[in-house]
Amino acid sequence: MRAPVTWIRDHAALDEAMTGRQLADALIRAGLEVETVEQIGAEVSGPVVVGRVLSAVREPQKNGKTISWCRVDCGPAANAEAAQPAPEGEPASRGIVCGAPNVVEGALVVVALPGAVLPGGFAIAARKTYGHLSDGMICAEDELGIGEDHAGIIILPDTDAEGRPITPGQEALPLLEERDEVLDIAVTPDLGYCLSIRGLAREAAQACAVAFTDPVTRTTPPAHADGFPVRSETSGCPLFVAVTVEGLDPAAHSPEWMRRRLTMAGMRPISLAVDVTNYVMLEIGQPLHAYDGDRLTDGIVVRQAAAGERLVTLDGVDRALDEGDIVITDGSGVIGLAGVMGGEDTEITEATTRVVLEAAYFAPVPIARTSKRVKLSSEASKRFERGIDPGAAFAAAHRAADLLVEFGGGQVTGETVYGAVPVPPRQRVAADLPARILGHPIAPVEAERILRASGVDVALDGDDLVLDPPTWRPDLVDPYDYVEEVGRKTGFDVIAPVVPTAPAGRGLTPAQKARRALTVALPQAGFVEVIQFPFAAESELDRLGVTAEDDRRRLVRLANPLADTAPYLRTSLLPGLFAAVARNAARGQTDLALYERGLVFFGPAGVAPVPPVDRRPSEAEWEAINAALPEQPEHLACVVTGQWLPSGWAAPAQPAQWRHAVHFVETVAATLGVEVARLQDAQAPWHPGRCARFIVGETTIGHAGELHPSVCQAFDLPAGSAAAEIDVSALMAAVPGPGQLPTLSSYPILKQDVALVVSEKEPQAAVAAALREGAGDLLESLALFDVYRGSSIPEGSVSLAFALRFRAPDRTLTEAEATAARDAAVAEAARRCGAELRAV
């Protein structure tokens, strides 16, 4: 809502000295979001006077434009100072070049004389142009910063607002009401009445503790039908006022002041009837519609639309109607989409002399629904959606009729009131509730005073306030709505801040602690976290090589995806990470170790019930809601490409490899304290021979390895890139309880090394596990220290060298004991893995 401050002042007795900025601050404090305070005409300085065009000679130019060479009477003083006096025998004047098509002989215009400075620092001076010395400028609205209009120059009327004649030479700016300030206010949905000068003036008066003059002075009389016949067949329209004005002069124009205010409010002046309906809507908040009375047939009937009905609206669009729409009809059928937009057929025209003004109350929900359905948000629908004041409909219709009569001639010939003003619901509120909820001592009498000033009818009944809200406040329903009203008018700034005392908290949950530990550990291990959009395409899964049966095909589809190319929710973090690699590569960063932690989504999703909200959902309803949600586990994934470390002074480059991806997972497991085992596997999108599966107990928690060459190709990754993806929810579920610290043995250690020859397809993890098992309790640790392939062992086999360390908790081990344990270990490795002892 754009509100000129002068218009607000018409109804709120604000201090003369108060600036627009100060008013804005007062309104902001009361909860109105004033986005800008615009200065109108404030940047004009220097001489700007009224001039009368004595002659205007059209002169076509080579550039295709036509200019007018004018002699303008700018008043005796200005005429005397003319750079080039008028030719002998002609009246005193100044010569001015004007490019506007509407400059005509005899017109009263606004002239900026040399020395004037217009908005934007535009200094006026006498200058040579189009072969003449132009001795001033005839101004258009936009040049003075008072409007957008640049179609032509401003043509002044013969008399000012008080009826005094306007004469050349007088100062023009006061005539233009040029100085004003416009507040642009984003009105919240609960304060629909502030989409009017009336509402804003009431708030302003209350906020500044000054008198308010209500532009609505007439109350709605009981139903009667002295005018155009009207009937409503829908509960969506409980009140309809129709006022008929006849004998209008179709050529009549809106007065300049009205056009100016409309312009400042952001509406384009069109014709008297349209301007008047808009003006009254802005002033009172009641949307009005003007029908051409001669184009209406029979009476008006308001009803729900029938399926299949259509209407061509004012904007020329032929629209299919829906049974939920409220429509205005006459004998010819549908003539308007109630509260949203009128129809073409009954629109007023340049020939209209008989106008039927509609001022109706339409219920917010159906109007919002229709406006949303037809994707048409009009000034009217914005107001009906938020709830207008039905109590003002009658007054608004008459205010508009009076303006039509005043400026267009004619007379009011009839009025019809159908229905009645709905009575807003009464509420009973404990008088101390505002103080209790706001945390500020507000005496019941003070609450009562504030509510009365807001238009609420207040009665005290024991400890309760009995409250009847005014018709313009449909937002005052619940007790807390009144708390807000009292709070808003008291000001939240006076409430003392108090830190509430929470009960003893339990700190972070184990999962939260785990995540925080990962936020430290993974960057320390060399990985950079990224956050990607979680949207996915099937083609990404194809490129990953994921089969039709794979869980990752259990996609959840979006009904209205942001991009049609990614209509699903992700089931894997990898495509997003691959895209991040590509973006980094395009910016010259090719050595990358990226990771992401986030939810993935596995269908199918169910249908969620929608229980009522006047009670807690039942256990069954709550379970059904949760059962309808898709599975949403938290995943953690990484990708490594290029060089893990570039070539340096101390060491050659280390290419990013599968072991970095594996290390990522092992870092996660170690950080969380979970024992994770690694098995050989073959799974998309990994290289079939270079893919590890991680298990906790029997549960697979993810994979890591080198990416399949075709995947690297499909995602534009360097060959040899590696990746890992794990279900970190599953891993966190396996986080053990408090660990047990060992008793440390201080007896000496015995070291034994073994080299075992096994088939090269035998995983070292299996050999290590066998050794560990076979060695028994005396084995303290075991480490692989060499992997050898070569001529001294059979082809297709590999030699694995392990360092075994033995220690007993209670005695010094003998060499014989350690050797026996080692032999048992080797025997177990031989039994399980076919290992042969190569060397001791």
Partner 1 sequence: MSSSESPAIEPTGVDAATVDRLVTEAERDFAAATTSEELKAARARHLGEKAPLVLANRAMGHVPAALKKEVGARLGAARARVGQAHAERLEAIAAEELGARLAGEWVDMTLPVDLVPTGAPHPITALMEQLGDVFIGMGWEIAEGPEVEADWVNFDALNISPHHPARATSDTLFADPVDHHLVLRTHTSPVQIRSLLTRPLPVYIVCPGKVYRADEFDATHVPVFHQIEGLVVDKGITLGHLKGTLDHLADVMFGGVRTRIRPSYFPFTEPSAEIDLECFVCHGASVGDPEHPCRTCSSEGWIEWGGCGVVNPRVLTACGVDPEIYSGFAFGMGVERTLMFRNGAQDMRDMVEGDVRFSRSLKGGAR
Q: Which of residues 163-202 bind partner 1 (CB under 8 A)?
A: 188-191
C-alpha dihedral sign at 350, 353, 356, 357: positive
**Which residues are CB-contacts of 426 (< 8 A; sequence separation ≥ 6)?**
466, 467, 468
- DSSP-assigned states of every residue in 732-761: HHT--SS--PPPPP-SPPEEEEEEEEEETT
Residue from 564, 614, 698, 795 touching partner 1 (CB under 8 A): that is 614
Residue from 119, 169, 414, 561 touching partner 1 (CB under 8 A): that is 561
Residue from 268, 583, 811, 831 touching partner 1 (CB under 8 A): that is 583
Which positions from 507 to 546 touch partner 1 by CB under 8 A, shown as an x/- string? xxx--x---x--xx-xxxxxxxxxxxxx------------
Tokens of 503: 């009960």
Applying CB under 8 A, which part among 143-151, 158-166, 238-246, 642-650 lies near partner 1? Answer: 642-650
Which positions from 593 to 612 touch partner 1 by CB under 8 A, shown as an x/- string? xx--xxx-x---xxxxxxx-
Residue 629 binds to partner 1 (criterion: CB under 8 A): yes
Applying CB under 8 A, which part among 119-127, 207-215, 481-489, 809-817 lies near partner 1? Answer: 481-489
* Rounded least distance, CB 567 to partner 1, Å: 8
Half-sphere exposure of 411 (CA within 13 A, CB side): 1
Identity of the residue, 383 or 822, whose beta carbon is nearer to partner 1 in the bound complex: 383
Give yes or no for a contact between 732 and 511, defined as CB atoms under 8 angstroms apart: yes
What is the signed CA dihedral for 385, 390, 395, 397, rounded to 10 degrees? 50
Residue 365 binds to partner 1 (criterion: CB under 8 A): yes
Tokens of 776: 């028994």
Please report where in the chains the tokens 């179709």 appear, as a residue.
250
Residue 33 binds to partner 1 (criterion: CB under 8 A): yes
Identity of the residue, 37 or 803, whose beta carbon is nearer to partner 1 in the bound complex: 37
Residue 579 binds to partner 1 (criterion: CB under 8 A): yes
* Rounded least distance, CB 456 to partner 1, Å: 16
Residue from 620, 628, 787, 840 touching partner 1 (CB under 8 A): that is 628
Identity of the residue, 279 or 658, whose beta carbon is nearer to partner 1 in the bound complex: 658
Residue from 63, 217, 560, 743 touching partner 1 (CB under 8 A): that is 560
Whole-number Å distance between alpha carbons of 682 and 426 = 71
DSSP single-letter state for residue 363: -
Phi, psi of 672 (to 5 degrees): -85, -10
Residue from 615, 741, 744, 746 touching partner 1 (CB under 8 A): that is 615
Tokens of 215: 């532009």
DSSP single-letter state for residue 331: T
Identity of the residue, 13 or 585, whose beta carbon is nearer to partner 1 in the bound complex: 585
Q: Restricting to residues 430-449, which ones interact with partner 1 according to CB under 8 A?
A: 436-440
Whole-number Å distance between alpha carbons of 216 and 239 = 17
Whole-number Å distance between alpha carbons of 721 and 15 = 73
Half-sphere exposure of 822 (CA within 13 A, CB side): 24
Tokens of 586: 């395009």
* Rounded least distance, CB 539 to partner 1, Å: 18
Give yes or no for a contact between 636 and 511, defined as CB atoms under 8 angstroms apart: no
* Rounded least distance, CB 632 to partner 1, Å: 5
Applying CB under 8 A, which part among 30-38, 91-99, 296-304, 462-470 lies near partner 1? Answer: 30-38
Phi, psi of 510 (to 5 degrees): -55, -40
Applying CB under 8 A, which part among 67-75, 92-100, 388-396, 561-569 lies near partner 1? Answer: 561-569
Residue from 222, 308, 503, 796 touching partner 1 (CB under 8 A): that is 503
Residue from 31, 51, 336, 474 touching partner 1 (CB under 8 A): that is 31
Residue 506 binds to partner 1 (criterion: CB under 8 A): yes
Applying CB under 8 A, which part among 212-220, 267-275, 476-484, 770-778 lies near partner 1? Answer: 476-484
Give yes or no for a contact between 720 and 686, defined as CB atoms under 8 angstroms apart: no
Identity of the residue, 314 or 624, whose beta carbon is nearer to partner 1 in the bound complex: 624
Residue 428 binds to partner 1 (criterion: CB under 8 A): no
* Rounded least distance, CB 801 to partner 1, Å: 25
* Rounded least distance, CB 171 to partner 1, Å: 30
- Number of residues binding to partner 1, judged by CB under 8 A: 108
Identity of the residue, 64 or 120, whose beta carbon is nearer to partner 1 in the bound complex: 120
Residue from 303, 488, 659, 703 touching partner 1 (CB under 8 A): that is 488
Whole-number Å distance between alpha carbons of 838 and 840 = 7
- DSSP-assigned states of every residue in 83-127: SSPPPTTSPS-EEEEE--TT--TT-EEEEEPTT-EETTTEE---E
Residue 741 binds to partner 1 (criterion: CB under 8 A): no
Spell out a b/e string for 78-109, using b for 16 or more CB atoms within 10 Å of the CB, else e: bbebbeeebeeeeebbbbbbbbbeebeeebbb
Residue from 316, 351, 587, 792 touching partner 1 (CB under 8 A): that is 587
